[in-house]
Amino acid sequence: MIRLLCLCPCLFLFVLRAAAVPLLWPIDGPSILEGDQLEDWAQPTVSGDPESALFGCVRTNGHRFHEALDIAATHWDNRREATDVVHAIMPGRVVYMNPIAGDSSFGRYVVLEHTGLKPSVYSLYAHLRSIDDDLKVGQDVKEGTKLGILGRSASYSIPRQRAHVHLEIGLRLSDDFQSWYDRQPFGSKNQHGIWNGMNLVGFDPREFYTFFSNGEADDLQLFWASMPPAAVLQIRTRVIPDLVKRYPTLLDGPLPQSVEGWEVSLTGYGLPLTLRPLSQDEAQGLGDYGAVKIVAVDPEQLEKFACRDVVKWDGETARLDSEGKDLLSRIFDIRE
């Protein structure tokens, strides 16, 4: 039986208050922080629609998901190549750099982890023309540190006039991503380890910036609570995912020494918001190990992100869709 999810504001009180963290726009130019209009900073796709630069089901007439903001160039050289400096939006640590454009649809990209926030979100800067020579993996950086030059690098062709930085902010799903990757029929090598885009799940950077429009990201608890869950799932498993070890503020309730199952709340695009260990009775009621039950949904949120294929709702029943199955497989190391 599916019931509508009650979006109780007390649901996320486990998230700890973070210390004040400066928040910057990744390039010098028009920005959300300055109150500029979407058309001033967004880099649309070939459609020309500024909305296509945003997060969500904004591509291919709403059928394709975009997990970032695409921020347009503002300066060019005499060959019309972008020259904008891309810098860190918050203090953090460099955890990954890909210097080879053709190795990823992200092109050349840099990933930072921001341990000053809880959970310690990552930020990813893609399609760079170049990565700064002084930048090293493991290096601590301040807000405003130069990461590289904005560009159009990718494993596909981006025209000069659409050079941009793809800014993504979110969580990393698994430390053992490679095991999941090896079980998939991709036919190509994982070039990027745990910082492969398939191991990352972003939230809406525009909402993040809008929430902290005063320029100080000083309470992630309130921001996390503002992200509405779209589905609550229960899964029978003895696995304690490294997700809750890496992001303990996602844990709803104390972590026992052993578990028999989990209740997971997700956004409509698959961001894990909370994980709660199930009691023995709750877990046994799910049946065999690996069994998944959808116990609550918000149909409006599922419809908003229907292109993501996490959970499908037909008006009466809900089912786990392809991306939802892959998501749980990555988090809980489910092997079919």
**Is 62 in the same domain as 203?**
yes
> Is 8 within a domain?
no
| Residue 196: CATH number of its domain | 2.70.70.10
Domain count within the chain? 2
**Is 39 in the same domain as 123?**
yes
Distance CA 306, CA 291 (A): 23
pLDDT at 214: 67
pLDDT at 17: 41
Question: Which of 173, 197, 217 finishes a domain?
Answer: 217
Q: For residue 336, name the pLDDT band (cuts at 50, 70, 90).
A: low
> Is 11 within a domain?
no
Look at residue 254 and tell me whether its pLDDT is greater than 90. no
**Is 55 in the same domain as 189?**
yes
Look at residue 140 and tell me whether its pLDDT is greater than 70. yes
> Is 15 within a domain?
no
Q: Which pTM was predicted?
A: 0.92
**Is 172 in the same domain as 243?**
no
Distance CA 260, CA 285 (A): 11
**Is 247 in the same domain as 212?**
no
Chain centre distance of CA 22: 20
**Residue 125 CB partners (closer than 8 Å, separation 6+):** 26, 86, 109, 110, 111, 112, 147, 148, 165, 166, 167
**Is 212 in the same domain as 232?**
no
**Is 206 in the same domain as 267?**
no
- Measured from the Cβ of residue 83, the count of other Cβ atoms closer than 10 Å reads 14
pLDDT at 96: 98
**Is 190 in the same domain as 286?**
no
Look at residue 19 and tell me whether its pLDDT is greater than 90. no
**Residue 128 CB partners (closer than 8 Å, separation 6+):** 86, 107, 108, 109, 110, 147, 148, 149, 150, 151, 153, 165
**Is 198 in the same domain as 253?**
no
Q: Which domain holds residue 152?
A: 21-217
**Is 199 in the same domain as 322?**
no
Maximum mean pLDDT: which of 14-23, 141-150, 204-213:
141-150
DSSP letter at 152 equals: -
Look at residue 89 and tell me whether its pLDDT is greater than 80. yes
Look at residue 15 and tell me whether its pLDDT is greater than 50. no
CB 153 within 8 A of CB 201: no
**Is 156 in the same domain as 26?**
yes
**Strand 292-297 relative to strand 3-4: parallel, antiparallel, unpaired?**
parallel
In the chain, alpha helices (H): 38-41, 177-182, 205-211, 220-226, 242-246, 280-284, 299-304, 322-332
> Is 223 within a domain?
no
> Is 6 within a domain?
no
